[in-house]
Structure 1
Amino acid sequence: MNPVSKAKIGCLPPDLSVSGWVQGEATNFEKLAGRVVLVEMFQVNCPGCFLYSLPQAIDLHQRYADQGLAVLAVATAFEDFDKNTLQNLVSLTETGQLIGETLRVLTEQGQTRNGRWRYRLPFPVAMDRLVKMEKPVTDQAVEQFIQQKLPDIAAHSSDYRQQIRRRVLNYLQSLEFRAETFERFDLQGTPSHVLVDKQGILLACRFGAFPELESLVRQLIADPVPA
């Protein structure tokens, strides 16, 4: 596993680990000190990311970038490794081309034109660093995964714990890669939202809907930076 410490709410976050920036200048939290930072984690083959979270991020960027908000997007991959690729991310940023389930669902909802997204991402975009999974999966890797995701498993029956271990083993054996930024922030899926205040403190790592995101961004922008 990556030796870099995991993200903790209320602490300085670990650096984003990316294989490259496909749009905008390379950056990280330290370079953005004094600004509120929103990182949108998405997958190219994730319809919900394109229906909800990315349009929300674009809207926040358009309305608050001049007031101190920095929005970044990091494309990750924890499944569908044949679709959630650097090549497809580059096609998205350069031409708006969609693929897979994202293309199918957005086309059904009338949100594409010739297979292309009706939005363009106006902020820096990077690809998460994908590391080839080691085979075979060790017992230590299974136990570490369980402790990270199910810290209260000891309270359950022995049969239940064995069932969970088998499921985790099968899941880890099915993975081709692990995504470093996705792991560092202990994310549960996509879309996910990482929010850092002006002092560089991690305030939120939220999976799925985040209805209070705008009000929190506005509050953080208004907060003065301590001298």
Structure 2
Amino acid sequence: MATAAHRLAPELAISEWFNVSEPLSPARLRGRPIFLHTFQLLCPGCVTEAIPQVKRIERLFGQTDLEVIGIHTVFEHHAAMSPTTLKAFLHEYRLTSPVGVDLAEEGSDIPVTMRRYGLRGTPSSVLIGRDGAILHHAFGVEDDLAVGARIALALAAAPPEDLTVAEDQDQQNCSGGRCSATAPSFEGSRG
């Protein structure tokens, strides 16, 4: 089931990055749409459906400013899904987009980024707009046409005029040290 949340994307909590020279974050990428996909290398649906879909997205939108980021979010079988094993998996499946290992937190089976984004499992995806707002959130693999249409709308959106974070917390839509943003709704979307 999919939901459109329209809140600012939380920061990623990553213990190790692959296929990128420096850490990525939604805040640093503001102004560019982001397709965030979460997976586990031992998840059958991730391997047979989600990873091939991500590769199609990369092929179709590779000449745009869409940033595709994978998050290896391990919530079970931790010993079998180490960063070393992930590195071999990325090579075997020819995944070249940035992939981060979701940070495990002492005393919790659920990794930090997975918890921050409210993900229910893998595979999951989150589409983040140019303004940093979550446009779409899904658990499972959705139809390619629907995903592509949402990405196309995110790419067509005008970049926000002001990409800086306001220090004045009394500004409209800000309170208690948090600011919210509105994003365009996708009329007729499922969920």
User: Per the shorter chain, which TM-score range?
Assistant: 0.7 to 0.9
Show structure 1 runs of 5+ residues with no match. 1-7, 97-118, 135-176
Counterpart of 2:157 in structure 1 is 223
Counterpart of 2:174 in structure 1 is none
- What's the CA shift for 1:219? 1.3
Does 1:210 pair with 2:184? no
Q: CA RMSD in A?
A: 1.6
Secondary structure at 2:105 match in 1: strand
Q: Which one has a bigger Cα radius of gyration?
A: 1
Size of the aligned set, in residue pairs, is: 155
Q: Which has the higher helix share?
A: 1
Counterpart of 1:131 in structure 2 is 105
Secondary structure at 1:58 match in 2: helix
Contact 1:76 1:84 in 2 (8 A): no
Equivalent-residue separation in structure 1 for 2:124 and 2:132 (angstroms): 18
Secondary structure at 1:40 match in 2: strand
| Residue identity matched to 2:54 | A
Give TM-score, length-normalised by structure 1: 0.64
Contact 2:128 2:134 in 1 (8 A): yes
Counterpart of 1:89 in structure 2 is 86
Dislocated runs of 4+, deviation >4 Å: none
Does 1:51 pair with 2:25? no
Show structure 2 runs of 5+ residues with no match. 162-191
Does 1:79 pair with 2:11? no
Does 1:180 pair with 2:112? yes
Equivalent-residue separation in structure 1 for 2:56 and 2:87 (angstroms): 22
Equivalent-residue separation in structure 1 for 2:29 and 2:53 (angstroms): 21
1:7-18 alignment to 2 at 5 Å?
Answer: 9-18=5-14
Equivalent-residue separation in structure 2 for 1:199 and 1:61 (angstroms): 21
Secondary structure at 1:195 match in 2: strand
Secondary structure at 1:72 match in 2: strand
Query: 1:161-193: per-residue Cα shift (whole Å, max 9, x none)?
Result: xxxxxxxxxxxxxxxx33111111111110000
Equivalent-residue separation in structure 1 for 2:62 and 2:133 (angstroms): 19
| Residue identity matched to 2:105 | V
Equivalent-residue separation in structure 2 for 1:20 and 1:206 (angstroms): 24
Counterpart of 1:191 in structure 2 is 123
Query: 1:53-87: per-residue Cα shift (whole Å, max 9, x none)?
Result: 11111111122132221100010111122222222
Query: 1:22-75: per-residue Cα shift (whole Å, max 9, x none)?
Result: 221321111211111011100011121111111111111122132221100010
1:107-146 alignment to 2 at 5 Å?
Answer: 119-133=93-107
| Residue identity matched to 2:17 | W
